């Protein structure tokens, strides 16, 4: 194992445990995988559209592969089309085939919830399940509105947990007050609403990512947006070619690494900057990252704003965040907690109770693992406070089976004083299969 003073990553990077310590400098140029949320939607929406589509830059993460396999099990032809991440999807219109076996969404909440919205209108019976984490995550939030629309859905524990059994059929439009700002729930209802009888109205409590709205509209679907209210008119979709931008949630690991390491320069190419996803950039700018965080070559690709992001070492200070900011950076809270350890003063995160029902209870797992590293961090029901600057030390950390935890701990290892051993390192593949290779590249490029 290496020591904290040598630029280092050791252990089998395809295996379960990897040791990471702070290199003297950190630098390089890389492209992160295609945006996970857009990747799921590019497969699902093109599958239920008419015509063929070429999707490029698809994420190779396990979550997206789960969606692809479920769709293939329902007769959708999805074939590689040359370059890595390029696929041809042959749309089936709104009619899928009854799957002959149980659909497996793996670790992916997006696969299970969005596909349930599709299954709700299919005239067949299907069963969808997932791994232990997914089977413990709340499904009542989609079961309730989809039943109200006319689908029959059964699940464990009074229809609240997967496996879910869905007997789809004719649906009616509903008016629905979304109880939480969730893009997965909103999208499940929208997907069902496309083939319902009558309009569906969704009242959102706050804006969550709007990739479904954008893609449905690009495919000729009819959605009216009025502030936080959405009206979905039943629509037939036309397949569209999609180039998936880089995932800002994956880029966030290198943005924080580059800002907080004392001698860093990292360029992340082609990152999607949809405003419903850029909360992490806004928060880091509020923390004083301005001099070290530059958006380069801002452009629009496939209807989504995209830029390269250049980060260099910068001093940060603590901030208070909550309210509407949280859905804009929900998946980035664990890595923000790492950044907050290197900021002066306190960083306070409120209104983030949704973190408790992610792949793990991310308030608990983040606080547990950061505490092992010596962070001065406390949690409460819907948030946490990180007292900066905390000296981070070496320790053995667990991913708890959560990809974002594994990657956040690895970045803590790149920044802190001792060697961080990340157990469950391979979990990164759920969203970012190239994560460990990219980490090595950033360390090696400056050796």
Calpha distance 126→314 (Å, rounded): 52
Calpha distance 244→237 (Å, rounded): 19
Exactly one of 331, 346, 361, 402 is catalytic; name it. 331
Q: Please identify which residue in 37, 200, 243, 360 interacts with ligand S3P, judged by CB under 6 A.
A: 37
Site for ligand S3P in 300-339 (CB under 6 A): 330-331
> Measuring CA to CA, how many Å separate 188 from each of 76, 244, 328, 377?
19, 21, 19, 35
Joined together, the tokens standing for residue 392 give 């981070």
Which of 58, 330 has the CB closer to ligand S3P?
330
Three-state SS for 362? Answer: helix
Q: How far is the CB of 353 from ligand S3P (least distance, A)?
A: 11
371 in Cβ contact with 391 (< 8 Å)? no
Which of 39, 314 has the CB closer to ligand S3P?
39
Q: Does 111 bind ligand S3P (CB under 6 A)?
A: no
Q: How far is the CB of 44 from ligand S3P (least distance, A)?
A: 10
Which of 189, 330 has the CB closer to ligand S3P?
330
Joined together, the tokens standing for residue 297 give 């070559």
Q: How far is the CB of 317 from ligand S3P (least distance, A)?
A: 27
Q: Does 278 bind ligand S3P (CB under 6 A)?
A: no
Q: How far is the CB of 38 from ligand S3P (least distance, A)?
A: 8
> Between 127 and 166, how does the x/- string for binding to ligand S3P read (CB under 6 A)?
----------------------------------------
Token pair 């929406």 is found at: 45
Calpha distance 86→54 (Å, rounded): 7
Which of 20, 407 has the CB closer to ligand S3P?
407
From 184-192, 231-239, 284-292, 385-393, give the range in contact with ligand S3P by CB under 6 A.
184-192
| Backbone φ, ψ for residue 59 (5° rounding) | -65, 140
Token pair 């460990």 is found at: 436
From 79-87, 178-186, 293-301, 419-427, give the range in contact with ligand S3P by CB under 6 A.
178-186
Which of 94, 187 has the CB closer to ligand S3P?
187
Phi-psi region of 267 (alpha: psi -120 to 50; beta: other; left: phi over 0): beta
Q: What is the largest CA-CA distance in the chain?
A: 65
Calpha distance 447→377 (Å, rounded): 33
Q: Please identify which residue in 208, 274, 312, 379 interacts with ligand S3P, judged by CB under 6 A.
A: 208
For strand 171-172 and strand 196-197, is the pairing parallel, antiparallel, or unpaired? parallel
Q: Please identify which residue in 184, 278, 365, 366 interacts with ligand S3P, judged by CB under 6 A.
A: 184
Instruction: Output DSSP code: residue 429.
Output: G
> Which of 347, 376, 381 lies closest to 364, judged by CA?
381
Q: Does 110 bind ligand S3P (CB under 6 A)?
A: yes
Which of 74, 330 has the CB closer to ligand S3P?
330
Q: How many residues bind ligand S3P (CB under 6 A)?
A: 13
Task: Locate the DSSP E strands across 97-160.
Answer: 103-104, 125-129, 152-155
Q: How far is the CB of 307 from ligand S3P (least distance, A)?
A: 21
Over 66-96, what HEC string results? Answer: HHHHHHHCCCCEEEECCCCCCEEEECECECC
Q: Please identify which residue in 213, 304, 354, 402 interacts with ligand S3P, judged by CB under 6 A.
A: 354
Q: Please identify which residue in 182, 365, 379, 398 interacts with ligand S3P, judged by CB under 6 A.
A: 182
Task: Locate the DSSP E strands across 32-160.
Answer: 52-56, 77-80, 87-90, 103-104, 125-129, 152-155
> Measuring CA to CA, how many Å separate 432 from each of 40, 44, 183, 259?
14, 20, 21, 21
Q: Side-chain half-sphere of 205: how many Cα atoms within 13 Å? A: 13
Which of 185, 373 has the CB closer to ligand S3P?
185
Which of 330, 421 has the CB closer to ligand S3P?
330
Joined together, the tokens standing for residue 188 give 């499940």
Q: Please identify which residue in 74, 183, 202, 420 interacts with ligand S3P, judged by CB under 6 A.
A: 183
From 23-31, 177-185, 273-281, 333-341, give the range in contact with ligand S3P by CB under 6 A.
177-185
Q: How far is the CB of 328 from ligand S3P (least distance, A)?
A: 10
Q: How far is the CB of 402 from ligand S3P (least distance, A)?
A: 11
Please indicate whether residue 331 is annotated as part of the active site: yes
Say what angle helices 403-415 and 333-341 make with each other, to 10 degrees. Answer: 20
Which of 96, 183 has the CB closer to ligand S3P?
183
From 179-187, 261-269, 385-393, 414-422, give the range in contact with ligand S3P by CB under 6 A.
179-187
Which residues lie near ligand S3P (CB under 6 A)?
37, 40, 110, 182-185, 187, 208-209, 330-331, 354
Q: Catalytic site residues?
A: 331
């Amino acid at each position: 194992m290496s020591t904290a003073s040598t630029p280092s990553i050791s252990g089998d990077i395809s295996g379960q445990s990897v040791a990471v310590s702070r290199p003297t400098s950190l630098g390089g140029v890389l492209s992160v995988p295609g945006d996970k949320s857009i990747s799921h939607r590019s497969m699902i929406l093109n599958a239920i559209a008419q015509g063929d589509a070429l999707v490029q830059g698809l994420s190779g993460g396990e979550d997206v592969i789960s969606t692809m396999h479920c769709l293939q099990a329902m007769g959708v032809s999805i074939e590689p089309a040359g370059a890595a991440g390029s696929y041809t999807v042959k749309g089936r219109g709104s009619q899928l085939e009854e799957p002959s076996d149980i659909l497996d969404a793996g670790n992916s909440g997006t696969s299970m919830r969005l596909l349930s919205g599709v299954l709700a209108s299919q005239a067949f019976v299907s069963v969808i399940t997932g791994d232990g984490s997914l089977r413990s995550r709340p499904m009542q939030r989609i079961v309730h509105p989809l039943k109200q629309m006319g689908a029959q859905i059964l699940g464990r524990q009074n229809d609240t947990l997967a496996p879910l059994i869905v007997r789809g059929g004719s649906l009616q439009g509903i008016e629905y007050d979304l109880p939480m700002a969730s893009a997965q729930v909103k999208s499940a209802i929208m997907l069902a609403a496309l083939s319902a009888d009558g309009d569906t109205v969704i009242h959102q409590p706050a804006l969550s990512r709007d990739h479904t709205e954008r893609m449905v509209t690009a495919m000729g679907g009819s959605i009216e947006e009025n502030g936080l209210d959405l009206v979905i008119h039943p629509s037939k979709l036309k397949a569209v070619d999609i180039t998936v931008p880089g995932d800002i949630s994956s880029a966030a690991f290198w943005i924080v690494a580059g800002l907080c390491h004392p001698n860093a320069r990292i360029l992340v190419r082609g990152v999607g900057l949809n405003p419903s996803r850029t909360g992490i950039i806004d928060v880091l700018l509020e923390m004083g990252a301005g001099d070290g965080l530059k958006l380069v070559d801002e452009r629009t690709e496939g209807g989504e704003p995209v830029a390269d992001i250049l980060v260099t070492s910068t001093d940060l200070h603590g901030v208070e965040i909550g309210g509407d900011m949280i859905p804009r950076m929900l998946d980035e809270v664990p890595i923000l907690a790492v950044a907050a350890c290197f900021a002066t003063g306190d960083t306070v995160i409120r209104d983030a109770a949704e973190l408790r029902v992610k792949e793990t209870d991310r308030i608990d797992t983040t606080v547990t693992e950061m505490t092992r590293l010596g962070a001065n961090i406390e949690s409460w029901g819907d948030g946490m406070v990180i007292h900066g600057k905390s000296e981070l030390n070496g320790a053995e950390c667990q991913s708890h089976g959560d990809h974002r935890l594994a990657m956040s701990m690895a970045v803590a290892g790149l920044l802190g004083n001792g060697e961080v051993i990340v157990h469950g390192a391979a979990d990164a593949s759920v969203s970012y299969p190239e994560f460990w290779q990219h980490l090595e590249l950033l360390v090696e490029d400056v050796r």
